[in-house]
Amino acid sequence: MTAPLHTPVPRRSVSRSPLAPARRAVATVFAAQGAAVAAVSTTVPAVQDRLSLSPLTMTVLVVAVALSAGVGSFAGLAVIRRLGLVAAMRVAVVATAGSLLLIGWAPDHAVVAVSYGLFGMGLGCIDVSANTRAAAVERHYGRSIFASFYAAWSAAGVAAALLTAGTADLGWPVEYILTAQAGLVLTLALTVRSHALPAESPFAVSDHGESVVLGRSLWIKLAPFGLVLLVAYVIDSTVSSWSTLYLHQTLAAALSVAPLAYAAYQMGTVTGRACADRLVRRMGPAAVVRGATLLTAAALVGVAAAPSWPYAVVAAAGTGLGVSALVPLCLASAGHLRPGAAEAVLARMNVFNYIGVLTGGAASGILGSTGHFRLAYGIPAVLVLALLATARSFNHRFTS
């Protein structure tokens, strides 16, 4: 999908190195994170009903997840330095599974607030450890493979959303639903095996990382990618965090049906990311960004104007299909600007990620709590059109 972030590793050295286990381990961690996010997102109305939380309180909790994820990123750096990347990934996923149990069984408002905060910290730790390891594995492959990791994230999100829908249809209370989800995430954590990357590679990355100073000119070049990443996560947070509640409250969908919009959205992202490499090779990255932008805008309008929940589910799938390629394209393009310091660049790009999640989660929740959920999807439909101006930044050559 994207240009190599460095000089390609010769095919022979790649085939003889333990890259496949490393790639599987990182993909598994991405999948565990995707399943955890889906578990929390699709149980928002059930948790709200169980503890009699007000819409505003639920909005604050969703925002708290994004804020604590930022804290978790910094905490994750300390864990990486102490335990190493692979152990840090495994610990973060186990902690995230534990927080799912706490959310499900929280007896009161205070405990559930702490539980959501711990969940966010776990996500932040996974972000910094998994993305750093993904960048290292990608460098050894000599070509971009970011889309495959995010496809694993989305596929696991689909599975977790369907698990919520299925168990809710069986009449399970949210405590048991989140226990089942925690079991899924924990099972994925237990399959993460230790692995080593080839020490002889000139592009080997230290498990502990090093501080890299980025010049002002590089930040200027990163700005278009940062804007795309920010808007993409505004949209992702709006659909992921609130689509279940939107279907339940605004479109009168049952709790067993409401998670289907999230599942459809993630199915769209899986499909889009599976096709992204081929589309970029055939059309070029700038054309893909333009097409994805227009499709996302149209699909968001469909979600906002949906007369009933089946229409919203279909439109959510279109939104996922449109927005799916934007994040991997941004990360790979940003890393391409400084091949020797890709990890430092990608770590800083995470700032736009969290700002987008925070903005999307808070704004959508506030609009929803005041009975204007449709605006929560209509406004991003207009906002995303601004990304058309950034497409030219993706015009450099991308190869597989």
The tens digit of pLDDT for each residue in 55-101 reads 889 888 988 888 898 888 878 878 888 888 889 999 999 999 999 99
The overall pTM is greater than 0.75: yes
* Cβ pair 67, 358 in contact under 8 A: yes
- The candidate with the shortest Cα–Cα distance to 291, out of 305, 304, 275, is 275
301-308 CB contacts, 8 Å cutoff, 24+ apart: 301/377, 301/378, 301/381, 303/239, 303/243, 303/246, 303/261, 303/377, 304/374, 304/375, 304/376, 304/377, 304/378, 304/381, 305/374, 305/378, 306/251, 308/251
* Residue type at 285 in one-letter notation: P
Q: For the beta carbon of residue 165, count every other beta carbon within 10 angstroms.
A: 22
* Cα within 13 Å of Cα(391), Cβ side: 20
What average pLDDT does the segment 265-287 reach? 85
Q: Which pair of structure tokens corresponds to residue 89?
A: 């990934």
For the chain, give the percent of residues with pLDDT over 70: 86
The first and second tokens of residue 143, run together, are 């070509």
State whether the Cα torsion 38-266-146-383 is positive or negative: negative
Q: Are 283 and 274 in contact (CB under 8 A)?
A: no
pLDDT attached to residue 206: 45
Q: How far, CA to CA in Å, does 36 sit from each of 117, 119, 180, 240, 293? A: 14, 9, 11, 12, 27
pLDDT band at 115 (very low <50, low <70, confident <90, very high): very high
Structure confidence at residue 340 (pLDDT)? 58
Q: Which stretches of the chain are assigned E, i.e. beta strand?
A: none
Pick the range with the lowest mean pLDDT from 113-122, 158-167, 192-201, 324-333.
192-201
Residue type, 231: V
- Give residue-wise pLDDT tens across range 318-356: 999 999 888 888 877 776 676 555 556 766 777 788 788
Average pLDDT, the chain: 83
CA nearest neighbour of 127 among 177, 77, 164: 77
Could you give the CA distance from residue 72 to residue 92 in angstroms, rounded to a whole number? Answer: 9
For residue 100, what are its two tokens? 């799912």
Taking alpha carbons only, the member of 64, 236, 267 closest to residue 161 is 267
- Quote the pLDDT of residue 355: 84
Question: Which of 251, 265, 255 has its CA nearest to residue 309?
Answer: 251
